[in-house]
Amino acid sequence: MALAPAPATGRFARTPHVARKERAESLAQAVFAAMSAAMVLPLLLIVGYLVWRAWPALGLEFILDVPRRGMTDGGIWPAFVGTLYLVGLSLVVSTPIAVMAAVYLNEYARDNWFNRVVNLAVINLAGVPSIVHALFGLGAFVYAARFGYSILSAALTLAIMTLPVIIASTREALASVPMAFREACWNVGATRWQTIRAVVLPNSISGILTGVILQVSRAAGETAPIMFTGAVFFKAVERGNLFPYGLSDQCMALSMHLYTLATQVPNVKESLPYATAVVLLGSVLLVNASAIALRVFLRGRKRW
Residues near another protein (CB under 8 A) are: 110-111, 180-191, 194, 198-199, 202-203, 302-304
User: CB 175 → another protein: shortest distance, Å?
Assistant: 15
Which residues, 6 or more positions from 252, have their beta carbon under 8 angstroms from its beta carbon? 78, 79, 82, 231, 232, 233, 234, 235, 237
Residue closer to another protein by CB (options 68, 301) is 301
Comparing CB distances to another protein, the nearer of 188 and 236 is 188
Which has the closest alpha carbon to 229: 131, 122, 92? Answer: 131
- Interatomic CA distance for residues 277 and 292, integer angstroms: 22
Choice between 160 and 185, CB closer to another protein? 185
Q: Smallest distance, Å, CB 293 to another protein?
A: 22
CA 13 to chain centre: 54
Measured at the alpha carbon of residue 183, what is the angle toward residues 177 and 185, in degrees to the nearest 5? 95
Nearer to another protein by Cβ, of 185 and 213: the residue is: 185
Q: Is the dihedral of CA 222, 227, 230, 232 positive or negative?
A: positive
CB of residue 122 to another protein, shortest distance in Å: 19
* Closest CB 180 distance from another protein, rounded Å: 5
By beta-carbon proximity to another protein, the closer residue of 14 and 301 is 301
In the complex, the smallest distance separating the C-beta of residue 107 from another protein, rounded to whole angstroms, is 10
3-state SS class at 68: strand
Compare residues 146 and 303 and give the one whose CB is closer to another protein. Answer: 303
- For residue 163, which of 193, 136, 195 has the smallest C-alpha distance? 136
Q: State the nearest-atom distance from the C-beta of 176 to another protein, in Å.
A: 12
Which amino acid appears at position 275 of this protein? A
CA dihedral 14, 18, 20, 23 (to 10 degrees): -90
